[in-house]
Structure 1
Amino acid sequence: MEERMIETKTLANGLEMSIYDASRKIAGDRWYVVLLARVVVPVREGFLGQGADAMDPADVQKALGEIVVFEQRRERNFVDDNDKTAVFDNLYQTFSSGTGSYVAHPDFPARFIKKRLSECLAG
């Protein structure tokens, strides 16, 4: 699926979030409208928690690598050609007001890395 970058913005926690339009035409005047949001989280001190809850960067990098990627999709199927832009804009607004503020939270990097590490060790 081809992705067209819409914007990249720096979040309050210092991470960058990129928004892509990965929509594609499916039949005649109908679209599969897809908003893709991606946040690259570097595995480094400062993003690994603090105090007794802090994770060791070397251990985390050994398990996960130097970065972990948060990705969210919002999608609508069988959208009329005339409505494609409005539907994408609505997906963007909905994402920004909900998940967008979640990934901008100062604790997001440590929580996300901890979650990915837990998934890696469990699987």
Structure 2
Amino acid sequence: MNDKTIIKTLKLENDLCVKIYDQSKKLIGDRYQVIMDVEIEIPITHSRLEKDHPLLSDIQKLKQLLGDKVVFKKTREKIFIDGKKKDSVMNSMIDSFITDIIPYLSRPDFPGKFIKKQYQDKVKKQSRLQPE
């Protein structure tokens, strides 16, 4: 597996940092699987939660369950791309992500909502694993 190569970093209005990685792989001949990975680390802090999600204000409980941060991840990929078009396909994927998704990720309430969703998913998963 190849190492992650950061190709773009964006600072959002809500103080989050988006990291875009090129995880593309050569398939056969001059054909590639073009893979764009996006990650945003969201620290679990009082300021991210107390206003929008007062029920999640027990930071210690959240950190015990989720750690000090949660990570938003998104992957987009295109398969069997000509090597000559690899860079333009990647740039198009990045432009599309910035146009379509960045406005949502930039919202002031996104970090709190994402932390809340991660918390709910973890609690739900743990309850399914508990013996009756």
TM category (shorter chain) comes to over 0.9
Quick check: which has more Rg, 1 or 2? 2
Gaps of 5+ in 2: 126-132
Runs of 4+ with deviation above 2 angstroms:
51-54
Distance 1:52 1:86, change over 3 A: closer
**Cross-structure match for 2:30:** 29
Select which of 81, 104, 107 maps to 1:105.
Answer: 107
Q: 1: distance between equivalents of 2:15 and 2:42? A: 10
Match in the other structure for 1:20: 21
CA deviation string 1:17-53 (max 9, x = no partner)? 1111110101000000011110000011111141663
Is the 2:52–2:112 contact (alpha carbons within 8 Å) kept by the matching residues of 1?
no
CA offsets per residue over residues 66-119 of structure 1, 9 Å max, x none?
010001011000000111111101100111111122111111100000000000
SS in 2 for 1:39: strand
Q: Which runs of 5+ in 1 are unaligned?
A: none
The residue that corresponds to 1:40 in the other structure is 41
Corresponding position of 1:60: 62
RMSD: 1.3
Segment of structure 1 superposing worse, 96-105 or 71-80: 96-105
Taking a change above 3 Å as real, the CA distance of residues 52 and 119 of structure 1, as seen in their structure-2 partners, is: closer
Count residues in correspondence: 123
* TM-score with structure 2 setting the length: 0.88
Please give the TM-score of this superposition, normalised by the length of structure 1: 0.94
Kept in 1, the 8 Å contact 2:48–2:111? The answer is yes
Distance (Å, rounded) in 1 between the aligned partners of 2:38 and 2:52: 31
Deviates more, 1:60-69 or 1:96-105: 96-105
2:92 is matched with: 90
Q: Secondary structure at the match of 2:49?
A: coil
Distance (Å, rounded) in 1 between the aligned partners of 2:21 and 2:114: 21
**What percentage of aligned pairs have identical amino acids?**
32
SS of 1:12's partner is: coil
Change (3 A) 1:19 1:81: same
